[in-house]
Amino acid sequence: ADPAAVTEARAHQDRLTKPRGALGALEDVAVRLAGAAGCSPPPMPEPAALAIFAADHGVHAQGVTPWPQEVTQQMVANFVAGGAVANAFAAQVGASVTVVDVGVAADLPHAPGLVHHKVAYGTADLSAGPAMTPEQTVAALEAGISVARRLVAEGARCLITGDMGIANTTASAALVAAFTGHDPAEVTGRGTGVDDETYARKIEVIRRALDANGLRPGHAAAPLAALGGVGGLEHAAIAGFILGGAAARVPVLLDGVIAGSAALAAAALAPAAVDHCVAGHRSAEPGHAAALEYLGLRPLVDLELRLGEGTGGLLAHPLVCAAVRVMHDVATFDSAGVTEKDA
């Protein structure tokens, strides 16, 4: 982050016609984005572009979710047809929607809004060894970088992460354990709704995955080995998307636990990328809170969402815009002739 822009943004906030600090966490968002952009006020983060990275997971075979794997491709069709919650939220906040196949376990028909970057027909089972080869990991990262670069070239001034992949909260929890050192039981949640038996199995599967990949919680993992070992293709693509947005100095609005775990990988590869990230929300998944805490990011929306797709990031977009708009539009005490409080 640019320290001069941070200082100038903070000073500007204090000249505006409002009590100091009265916008709470939104003042910090505006100041952080000034630092990331290298100027104050930072550019308005509009228009926004949501990219939903879709992929399947070999670990699905371990029975970690009650949802059939075909739902990944069915939901891709739903996104492309405009029928999912992410589409409704994107329409509400004026964001574009791009769906990216980085690893769905089926050939998908061409359709407007669907980008083909398929690296594999799903990952291998992470509980038995590496989910991805090193080449696949890099290819998925590059797919995310390329999508970010294209969306920015097309005019996006804010990138929003989205994901679709049945079983992907299992990979997310494994990544969070590997990168933050938390025990799997602390960072594993019930995803889109699993019963007690499945939940216990999910934790056990994650323990085996860490073992099988030589990842011990509390011992710093080599970023690419951890990402490829227990991550998903959409996790790697989102990590690349974050890196691509950061390289373009555009804010990246993170969705839920899939984005949070991908951000851990991105941060391990390039720590400064975190300066460009804004945590859209905190989901109901415990691993998400652990990831955000590790990254030092404060979530803007906290409403017990647990859907993914980018929905939490989309909801936060108007809040981020509002935070930045204050820096552009609001009068100062001097310019508005408003008296400041007694010292």
Catalytic residue ranges: 309
**Least distance in angstroms from the C-beta of 288 to a copy of itself:** 13
Site string for a copy of itself, 4-33 (x = CB under 8 A): ------------xxxxxxxxxxx-------
Binding a copy of itself (rule: CB under 8 A), the pick from 11, 38, 74, 334 is 74
DSSP assigned state of 65 = -
301 interacts with a copy of itself by CB under 8 A: yes
CA distances from 291 to 60, 103, 178, 309, 343 (A): 23, 24, 11, 18, 41
297 interacts with a copy of itself by CB under 8 A: no
**Least distance in angstroms from the C-beta of 284 to a copy of itself:** 7
91 interacts with a copy of itself by CB under 8 A: yes
Binding a copy of itself (rule: CB under 8 A), the pick from 85, 106, 108, 124 is 85
Binding a copy of itself (rule: CB under 8 A), the pick from 175, 209, 215, 321 is 321
96 interacts with a copy of itself by CB under 8 A: no
The rounded distance, in Å, linking the Cα atoms of 280 and 63 is: 30
Which two structure tokens, joined as six digits, stand for 7? 């200082």
Q: Which residues in the 194-253 window bind a copy of itself by CB under 8 A? A: none
- Report the number of secondary-structure helices (H) and strands (E) in the chain: 14, 6
CA nearest neighbour of 53 among 270, 261, 304: 261
330 interacts with a copy of itself by CB under 8 A: yes
- Angle subtended by helix axes 233-247 and 257-269, to nearest 10: 60
Contact of 29 with 323, CB cutoff 8 Å: yes
Which two structure tokens, joined as six digits, stand for 188? 């594993």
Binding a copy of itself (rule: CB under 8 A), the pick from 125, 288, 306, 313 is 306
Which two structure tokens, joined as six digits, stand for 227? 């990402």
Q: Per-residue DSSP letters for 187-226?
A: H---TT---HHHHHHHHHHHHHHHHHTT--TTSPPPHHHH
* Closer CB to a copy of itself, 16 or 178, in the complex: 16
The rounded distance, in Å, linking the Cα atoms of 211 and 213 is: 5
CA 126: distance to chain centroid?
A: 21
Which of these segments, 79-87, 133-141, 218-226, 272-280, binds a copy of itself (CB under 8 A)?
A: 79-87
75 interacts with a copy of itself by CB under 8 A: yes
296 interacts with a copy of itself by CB under 8 A: no
Q: Which residues in the 51-70 window bind a copy of itself by CB under 8 A? A: 65-68, 70
Name the CA dihedral angle for 66, 68, 69, 72, rounded to a multiple of 10 degrees: -100
Using DSSP bridges, classify how beta strands 277-279 and 48-55 pair: parallel, antiparallel or unpaired.
unpaired
* Closer CB to a copy of itself, 80 or 226, in the complex: 80
Which of these segments, 95-103, 133-141, 214-222, 328-336, binds a copy of itself (CB under 8 A)?
A: 328-336
Binding residues with a copy of itself: total (CB under 8 A): 64
Contact of 42 with 36, CB cutoff 8 Å: yes
Which residues are near a copy of itself by CB under 8 A? 16-26, 65-68, 70-71, 74-75, 77-78, 81-85, 87-89, 91-93, 192-193, 284, 300-307, 311, 314-315, 318-319, 321-322, 325-326, 328-331, 335-339, 341-343
